[in-house]
Amino acid sequence: MKSSRDSRFLKKVLTAAETESVRKADDPAAALWSFWAAKEAAYKIIKKINNGASFLPRRWEVFLRPAARRYFDGEVALGGKFKVFIRLFLHEEFLHCLAADGAGALDEIIYAHSIFPDEKDIAAEGASSYLRDFAARKIAEHLSLNASAVRIERNIVEGEPGPPRLYLVDDASFGDISLSHDGRFVAFAFLP
């Protein structure tokens, strides 16, 4: 992939050590997008803690431990003593990164991914709507509820759409959810 060889882009989003890792990797594109996904997932955690936070990928460093299973665990150091814990899954066609502000929470996250069923109708709203329905259905299954008992909404926070929240039928906010889609791939992560 061209981006993994574009030194201006690499300098914009990666630390020097990460750039070197991409250059030495057997699959430079997978290495680049693994670092990017980890930083993007960490940003979602930071944004929920501080709505005014900025996305500063060049200032954050990703540390991945060797894969012991079908995923990599690691951290994203955000300067100072604050870090976000990540779990990165690499698949042939895509990757999926989970993030949490505590390492133990990674084992509690409920997550799934899917492929948008109709490539011709992949407009952003179509993918977003499909993803919300997919996530609500999967979470309802996990909680042994009817799918109509779960809904996902974004509230307005300081005049801007805030992060998505999961609601049960009684309108109680229930847990933390993250939604993502890229092209025809959709995924969610939910921490009850």
The predicted pLDDT at position 66 comes to 77
Distance CA 192, CA 188 (A): 13
What is the per-residue pLDDT across 4-63, written as a single tens digit (0 to 9) for each?
A: 677 888 888 999 999 999 999 988 988 999 999 999 999 988 888 877 788 888 999 999
Residue the block writes with tokens 């693994």: 34
Instruction: Decide: 77 and 60 in contact? Cβ < 8 Å.
Output: yes
Q: Which of 110, 69, 105, 101 is nearest to 88 (CA)?
A: 69
Residue the block writes with tokens 């990164």: 97
Domains of the chain in sequence order: 2-106 (3.90.470.20), 111-191 (no CATH)
**What's the predicted TM-score (pTM) here?**
0.82
Distance CA 25, CA 8 (A): 18
What is the per-residue pLDDT across 84-114, written as a single tens digit (0 to 9) for each?
A: 999 999 888 888 999 999 889 999 999 998 8
